[in-house]
Amino acid sequence: MTTTDVNQELKTQEYLINMGPQHPAAHGVLRLILTIDGEIIRKVDPDLGYIHRSIEKMCERDTYKQIVHLTDRLDYLSSHINNEAVCLAVENALEIEVPERVKYIRTIMAELTRLASHQLWWGVMGMDIGALTAFMYAFRDREMINDIMEETVGARLTMNYSVPGGVMFDIHPDFQRKVKEFIKHFRKALPEYNTLLSENIIFKKRLKGIGYISKEDAVAYGVSGPSARGSGVSCDVRKIHPYSAYDKVEFNEVLIEGGDSYDRYMVRMKEMEESMNIIDQLIDNIPEGDYQVKTSALIKLPKGEFYQKVETARGELGVFIVSDGKKSPYRLKFRSPGFSNLSILDKISRGHKIADLVAIMSSLDFVIPDIDR
Amino acid sequence: MYDFSKMTGAIHEWLSSLMPSLLVTTIEWILIGVVFLALFAILGLVLVIVERKIAGFFQFRLGPNRVGPFGMFQTVADTVKLLLKELVSTNKVDKFLYNVAPFFVIIAPLMIMAVIPYGLGLTAYDINVGLFFVMAVSSIGVVGILLAGWASNNKYSLIGAMRSGAIIISYELSMGLSALLAIVLLVGSLNLNDIVMSQQAGWWIFRGHIPAIIAFVIYIITGTAETNRVPFDLTEAESELGAGYHAEYSGIKFAFFFLSEFVNMFIVAALAVTLFLGGWLPIHIPGWEGFNNIMDYIPSPIWFFLKTSVVIFLLMWFRWTFPRLRIDQILTLEWKYLLPISLVNLVLMAFVVMMGWVF
């Protein structure tokens, strides 16, 4: 080497690094094959299949009532909403009108689930950025929701509360009091969340301008849920195609135009407030009546294709049933929000650093079993 | 105040009356070595349990409470576990560097511990360039981290080690320039004991005007960065790199890295106390003679460790509150903000000293 080489531009070599399948930031078994130049990401190649349980195939084997149980395992953080999606699809196909009471209970439960899911996401987001205390704050409050669920439903996470035709049991006598207590507590706790993370200058610097999704990209890649609403895409299924009791409540669809990770973060923070508003409007007005419509033990759907979409904590979950008139579906397809949201990861994280990739991943709020069914 | 040099002098004379001077020196070396190794281990054990308890306090939980009263022996149990664990290493590690790296990491804090004044007459190695020695030796630790990252043959470890190198090399600049040189300007000596003694009229953080306060703040920031703790814990960055540079280490080798982090934290706090908060000097309030006399009865090492633990609590508070910075943000903070501020601060301090504006 002579001294004249100094003027030559320094060449760097890109290298591959496996992020996952076991990696603390993936919160599951997601494998990302990263092409890295120093610390800068050139390419992200998600490799799926590590937690594939062929749930869609299993649905073709099971009866409609059994299918509901499988949906808990899709996006385990919005398990009730998943249950509800299948139940609504089956009810629509059979043209069952469920009692008002059921609609109210389902909506309250769905919003509680959304709150619990967003709380966990918030804690994990803090942990990914490096603020470990946030995780414990989130778990303190999430525990209260889990207790409410346990009392009424019997399970804390995989709830299995909805059945085609209604809900499995009536609500616990303490349910309304406990939910109100929780809402009262959480209205005080949410500002704490904001002081701990949202207002923190380091946290803001880590998220602002990172992982920008334009409005067009969000639509093109099929990004849905809070991740899309952070880019200003109006896509709240609760608002556009109201189901259950969402047409009876007033709530705002949170829309922020920015499109970066911090905007997606703020959408979820504001959604928690909206969820509390929805619960507030419903909790005192649960009408009297049956909690279930009797359905036959072996439901048979008429021949045809049925589609139902709901808004889970992560975005739009679609259930597409093709029935040939037998006791189990001919084909059942879940349109899971996580899979579509993951597809944009490569585009938005190129040129950022490894630390940013972790931030982007948590701002998109992945639950791996939802991506990999 | 009891002068500990009387005690050490007595031991020295007693040994000298028994054996030739060469043997005396050897025995004294061994004694001091044993004392510092014990202090190292005890500091590590105590700080780990304190950290976990404080973490519990910040996070609405109890922290460890199963082994011993209030879980006090939890770290002892953990250490025994780490000692008994098999030393696993991957196939293609650079064996020599891989094995030698943990020692670099613990040698640095051990050597610095020798010059710190723990009390009146309680310094193992009282040299006139004490502060310079600290700055020089503290850089050895990063060699260990770089070696560990390189020798592990793991890309994550390498990224962690490179980050560590970048951080420590840049943060040492403003640590030395601002924090330490500012005080040296005030005192006119690099000897740590002289620095402590010069604060008898009042601590430098109060007497040194605004430049001293700025220097203290910068010192705490850079000190946190030097010890690789949150918000500067990029080298480990659990959620990004798994465990960073020590990902491939197990058992007692891992424990070396782990303990040295805590002992480094102690050293940063101890230096902060020595330079800015009066070292082992008791709290004196001018005018309250009775109060001051009572304070004088408390032995100097107790004052030293008390003040140090306050600063340590501050560092732990950072850790359990702040998110982690990104590597480019950390370097921006240093080169664009802290370093210019330190340089200006140094000039300011020189001006203050020149005009004799010290209280």
Q: Which residue of B has its CA nearest to A128?
A: B239
Amino acid A199: pLDDT: 86
Give chain B's largest Cα–Cα span.
68
* Alpha carbon of B250: minimum distance to chain A alpha carbons (Å): 18
**What's the mean pLDDT when you consider all of chain A?**
87
- Residues of chain A with Cβ-Cβ distance to B234 below 8 Å are 355
How far is Cα A93 from Cα A306, in angstroms, rounded to an integer? Answer: 6
Q: How far is CA B305 from the centre of its chain?
A: 12
Q: Which residue of A has its CA nearest to B229?
A: A130
**What's the mean pLDDT when you consider all of chain B?**
85
Q: Do A133 and B59 touch (CB under 8 A)?
A: yes
Of B61, B231, B239, the CB nearest to A358: B239
* Alpha carbon of A100: minimum distance to chain B alpha carbons (Å): 40
pLDDT digits 0-9 by tens, A243-293 = 888 888 888 888 888 888 899 999 999 999 989 999 988 888 888 888 888
Q: Which residue of B has its CA nearest to A17?
A: B155
How far is Cα B315 from Cα B308, in angstroms, rounded to an integer? Answer: 11
Show which of residues 6-65 on chain B sit within 8 Å of chain A, judged by CB atoms.
Answer: 55, 58-61
Contact A321, A329 (CB under 8 A): yes
ipTM of this complex: 0.82
Tell me if A9 is assigned to some domain. Answer: no
- Residues of chain B with Cβ-Cβ distance to A129 below 8 Å are 239, 323-324
How far is Cα B182 from Cα B190, in angstroms, rounded to an integer? Answer: 11
| Residue environment code for A154-186, b if the CB has 16+ CB neighbours within 10 A, otherwise e | eebeebbbbbbbbbbeebeeebeebbeebbeeb
Amino acid A6: pLDDT: 58
- Residues of chain A with Cβ-Cβ distance to B327 below 8 Å are 39, 353, 355
pLDDT digits 0-9 by tens, A64-112 = 888 888 888 888 888 889 988 989 988 888 888 888 888 898 899 999 9
pLDDT digits 0-9 by tens, A319-364 = 999 988 888 889 888 888 888 888 888 888 888 888 888 889 888 8
Q: Do A202 and B323 touch (CB under 8 A)?
A: yes
Tell me if A32 is assigned to some domain. Answer: no
Report DSSP state, residue B185.
H
Domain of residue A153, residue span: 52-372
- Residues of chain A with Cβ-Cβ distance to B318 below 8 Å are none
The CB density around residue A121, as the number of other CB atoms within 10 Å, is 24
pLDDT digits 0-9 by tens, B26-85 = 888 898 889 888 888 888 888 888 888 888 888 888 888 888 888 888 888 888 888 888
Encoded tokens for B137 = 């030796």
* Alpha carbon of B155: minimum distance to chain A alpha carbons (Å): 7
Average pLDDT over residues A126-134: 86
Matching residue, tokens 């869609």: A56
User: Which of A57, A113, A119, A54 is CA-nearest to residue A83?
Assistant: A113
Of B242, B321, B329, the CB nearest to A133: B321
How far is Cα B359 from Cα B353, in angstroms, rounded to an integer? Answer: 10
Q: Measured between alpha carbons, how far is residue A301 from residues A164, A291, A295, A348 in Å? A: 12, 22, 12, 42
Considering only CB atoms, which residues of chain A are within 8 Å of chain B? 15, 17, 23-25, 39, 126-133, 135-137, 140, 196-197, 200, 202-203, 205-206, 353-356, 358
Tell me if A94 is assigned to some domain. Answer: yes
Spatial neighbors of B152 by CB under 8 A, at least 6 apart, are B90, B93, B98, B158, B245, B247, B248, B249
> In this model, does residue B242 exceed pLDDT 80?
no
Domain of A58, CATH number, reads: 1.10.645.10
Strand residue runs (E) in chain A: 15-19, 31-37, 40-47, 162-163, 166-167, 304-311, 316-323, 331-335
How far is Cα B94 from Cα B345, in angstroms, rounded to an integer? Answer: 44
How far is Cα B277 from Cα B275, in angstroms, rounded to an integer? Answer: 6
> Does B132 reach chain A within 8 Å, measured CB to CB?
no
Q: Do B59 and A136 touch (CB under 8 A)?
A: yes
pLDDT digits 0-9 by tens, A44-68 = 988 888 888 888 888 888 888 888 8
Encoded tokens for A122 = 């918030």
pLDDT digits 0-9 by tens, B95-144 = 888 888 888 888 888 888 888 888 887 787 888 888 888 888 888 888 88
Tell me if A10 is assigned to some domain. Answer: no
Q: Measured between alpha carbons, how far is residue B333 from residues A168, A261, B205, B239, B340 in Å? A: 57, 22, 23, 22, 10
- Residues of chain A with Cβ-Cβ distance to B156 below 8 Å are 17
Tell me if A29 is assigned to some domain. Answer: no
- Residues of chain A with Cβ-Cβ distance to B321 below 8 Å are 131, 133, 196
Of A133, A140, A358, the CB nearest to B320: A133
* Alpha carbon of B59: minimum distance to chain A alpha carbons (Å): 6
Contact A223, A213 (CB under 8 A): yes
> Does B168 reach chain A within 8 Å, measured CB to CB?
no
How far is Cα B137 from Cα B33, in angstroms, rounded to an integer? Answer: 17
How far is Cα B359 from Cα B339, in angstroms, rounded to an integer? Answer: 27
Average pLDDT over residues B246-258: 85
Amino acid A1: pLDDT: 45
SS3 content of chain B, % helix, strand, coil (to 5): 75, 0, 25
- Residues of chain B with Cβ-Cβ distance to A39 below 8 Å are 159, 327
How far is Cα B16 from Cα B12, in angstroms, rounded to an integer? Answer: 6
The amino acid that residue A148 corresponds to is: I
Tell me if A235 is assigned to some domain. Answer: yes
User: Which of A114, A59, A103 is CA-nearest to residue A81?
Assistant: A114
Handedness of CA A347, A351, A352, A357 (dihedral sign): positive
Tell me if A281 is assigned to some domain. Answer: yes
- Residues of chain A with Cβ-Cβ distance to B328 below 8 Å are 353
- Residues of chain A with Cβ-Cβ distance to B238 below 8 Å are 24, 130
Q: Do B242 and A129 touch (CB under 8 A)?
A: no
Helix (H) or strand (E) segment spanning residue A226: helix A226-229
- Residues of chain B with Cβ-Cβ distance to A37 below 8 Å are none
Encoded tokens for B261 = 């982090």
> In this model, does residue A154 exceed pLDDT 50?
yes
Q: What are residue A320's DSSP bridge partners? A: A307, A333
Amino acid A3: pLDDT: 52
DSSP A148-215: HHHHHHS-SSS---EETTEESSPPPTTHHHHHHHHHHHHHHHHHHHIIIIIT-HHHHHHHTTSS---H
User: Which of B223, B204, B206 is CA-nearest to residue B318?
Assistant: B223
pLDDT digits 0-9 by tens, B268-318 = 899 889 888 888 888 877 777 888 888 888 888 888 888 899 999 988 888
SS3 content of chain A, % helix, strand, coil (to 5): 50, 15, 35
How far is Cα B75 from Cα B48, in angstroms, rounded to an integer? Answer: 7
Average pLDDT over residues B259-276: 88
Q: How many CB pairs under 8 A join A and B?
A: 80
Spatial neighbors of B294 by CB under 8 A, at least 6 apart, are none
Q: How far is CA A34 from the centre of its chain?
A: 25
> Could you give the number of structural domains in chain A?
1
Substitution target in A16, A30, A41, A129 with the highest count of B β-carbons within 10 Å is A129
> Does B232 reach chain A within 8 Å, measured CB to CB?
no
User: Which of B180, B92, B60 is CA-nearest to residue B132?
Assistant: B180
Amino acid B180: pLDDT: 78
Tell me if A162 is assigned to some domain. Answer: yes
Q: Do B240 and A358 touch (CB under 8 A)?
A: yes
- Residues of chain B with Cβ-Cβ distance to A206 below 8 Å are 323-326, 329
pLDDT digits 0-9 by tens, B188-202 = 888 888 888 888 877
Q: Do B233 and A130 touch (CB under 8 A)?
A: yes
Give chain A's largest Cα–Cα span.
89
Percent of chain A with pLDDT over 70: 98
pTM attached to this predicted model: 0.87
User: Which of A200, A165, A255, A212 is CA-nearest to residue A351?
Assistant: A212
